[in-house]
């Protein structure tokens, strides 16, 4: 840390599951930092965090906290972003926001560098980081869209509990232990902390992530549908999602069905394409039982793709299985990657 010609970076939501990964990722990437401000709600302010052997005290995030900040990474919930991201921008910072607050805002680019890096040029101070499930899916779909055209996408997700925060991971562990010991257990957090009912996640699968809309889809599903269209610049693309929570701590999995425009494309063509695509690791060898699994992707930055096969009835239909660390490419790494790209493209100046 403390590089003289680096940037003053702020992490907002520094104590959260994603905030912690943001700090770790900034360090792992050797991001050019001259000063690091760790900000949070009043509740966590005063806590001390060890960053590469240096103790940093967490400060309460206020408008004045952004004085002198060059780059601010937000992951403290939508209401914090709505209130404080504009304050950071007012003070000359560039904001990478990992909440849904600005994702669908027309004046805010929604960016996955492997897919739509050029949208960074259109920023007005805030760049939105997409939803975790969306990010890993579009990384896998974009090379296919570019080469063969995309006509339709249907996805089912198998999402890890860490997406709902560190407390949800604790709940999964406690429930699992209690159930194994034949003790009583509680469910207080999943599927949605603020919703009416809570269900066990241990030894279960819950087909609800976020609240329901009147159309029968959940907000998580709607986010995936809307964000995919925006990132890929395909407002007309039919996309349908079903999002399910599994008793997995880290790593989202997705079964993705897609139809392409081009004719006479084989599964091997798609495999070869994805094998050379940025940010993707192809793990596809059914004969040797090679396919991606969340347990193998924890702590890794890439999106893992396997089980690529042609549909047996629809000639232009294909299936694939897409897995990634939801806290890294799904959140912290994509945000830091955006910050890196902003620096490399000369879109952020050190004050
Ligand atoms: O939109 O609960 O960034 O797994 C990502 C995590 C929504 C909820 C987002 C979860 C959140 C999701």
Residue 297: band (very low, low, confident or very high) from pLDDT cuts 50, 70, 90 = very high
Q: What is the pLDDT of residues 230-262, one digit of tens each?
A: 999 999 999 999 999 999 999 999 999 999 999
Residue 351: band (very low, low, confident or very high) from pLDDT cuts 50, 70, 90 = confident
For residue 90, give the H/E element and its range: helix 78-90
| From-to residues of CATH 3.40.50.720 in the chain | 2-129+331-344
Model confidence, pTM? 0.97
Structure tokens at 65: 């906290």
Q: What is the pLDDT of residues 127-178, one digit of tens each?
A: 999 999 999 999 999 999 999 999 999 999 999 999 999 999 999 999 999 9
- State the CB neighbour count (10 A cutoff) for residue 331: 27
How many angstroms is it from 220 CA to the middle of ligand 1?
7
Q: What is the pLDDT of residues 75-88, one digit of tens each?
A: 999 999 999 999 99
Take atom 3 of ligand 1 and give the residue whose Cα is closest.
131
2-129+331-344 topology per CATH: Rossmann fold (3.40.50)
| From-to residues of CATH 3.30.360.10 in the chain | 134-326
Beta bridge partners of 252: 324
In angstroms, the CA 297 to CA 290 distance is: 13
Q: What is the pLDDT of residues 98-128, one digit of tens each?
A: 999 999 999 999 999 999 999 999 999 999 9
In angstroms, the CA 324 to CA 246 distance is: 14
In angstroms, the CA 6 to CA 35 distance is: 8
Question: 102: helix, coil or strand?
Answer: coil
In angstroms, the CA 245 to CA 159 distance is: 5
pLDDT for residue 2: 56
Please state the CATH superfamily assignment of the domain spanning residues 134-326 in this structure: Dihydrodipicolinate Reductase; domain 2 (3.30.360.10)
| For residues 303-325, average pLDDT | 98
| Residues at CB less than 6 angstroms from ligand 1 | 100, 131-132, 159, 163-164, 209-210, 220, 223
Count of CA atoms in the C-beta half-sphere (13 A) of 139: 31
Residue 267 has pLDDT above 60, yes or no: yes
The single-letter DSSP state of residue 218 is B
Residue 214 has pLDDT above 80, yes or no: yes
Beta strand spans in the chain (E): 7-12, 33-40, 48-51, 54-57, 59-60, 71-74, 94-97, 126-128, 150-159, 239-245, 252-260, 280-282, 303-310, 317-324
pLDDT for residue 349: 82
Rounded to the nearest 5 degrees, what angle is found at the Cα of 255, between the Cα atoms of 250 and 256?
125
Residue 350 has pLDDT above 90, yes or no: no
Considering the chain, what is the average pLDDT of its residues? 97
Ligand 1 atom index nearest CA of 100: 1
């Amino acid at each position: 840390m403390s590089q003289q010609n680096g940037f003053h970076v702020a992490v907002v939501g520094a104590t959260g599951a994603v905030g912690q990964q943001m700090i770790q990722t900034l360090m792992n990437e050797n991001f050019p930092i001259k000063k690091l401000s760790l900000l949070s709600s009043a509740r966590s302010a005063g806590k001390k965090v060890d960053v590469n052997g240096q103790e940093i005290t967490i400060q309460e995030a206020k408008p004045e906290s952004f004085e002198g900040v060059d780059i601010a990474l937000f992951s403290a919930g939508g209401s914090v972003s709505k209130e404080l991201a504009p304050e950071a921008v007012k003070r000359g910072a560039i904001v990478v926001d990992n909440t849904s607050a600005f994702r669908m805002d027309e004046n805010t680019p929604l960016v996955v560098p492997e897919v739509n890096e050029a949208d960074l040029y259109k920023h007005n101070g805030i760049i939105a980081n997409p939803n975790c499930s969306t990010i890993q899916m579009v990384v896998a779909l974009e090379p296919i869209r570019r080469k063969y055209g995309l006509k339709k996408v249907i996805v089912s997700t198998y999402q890890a509990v860490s997406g709902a925060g560190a407390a949800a991971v604790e709940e999964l562990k406690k429930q699992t232990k209690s159930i194994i010991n034949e003790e009583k257990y509680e469910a207080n957090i999943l599927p949605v902390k603020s919703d009416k009912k809570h269900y066990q996640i241990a030894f279960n699968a819950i087909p609800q992530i976020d609240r329901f809309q009147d159309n029968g889809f959940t907000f998580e599903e709607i986010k995936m549908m809307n964000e995919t269209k925006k990132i890929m610049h395909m407002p007309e693309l039919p996309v349908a999602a079903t999002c399910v929570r599994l008793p997995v701590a880290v790593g989202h999995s997705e079964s993705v069905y897609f139809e392409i425009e081009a004719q006479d494309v084989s599964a091997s063509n798609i495999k070869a394409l994805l094998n050379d695509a940025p940010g993707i690791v192809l793990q596809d060898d059914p004969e040797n039982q090679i396919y991606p699994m969340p347990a193998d992707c924890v702590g890794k930055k890439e999106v893992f793709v396997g089980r690529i096969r042609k549909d047996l009835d629809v000639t232009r239909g294909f299936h694939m299985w897409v897995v990634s660390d939801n806290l890294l490419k799904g959140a912290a790494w994509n945000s830091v990657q955006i910050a890196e790209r902003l620096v490399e493209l000369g879109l952020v100046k050190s004050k």
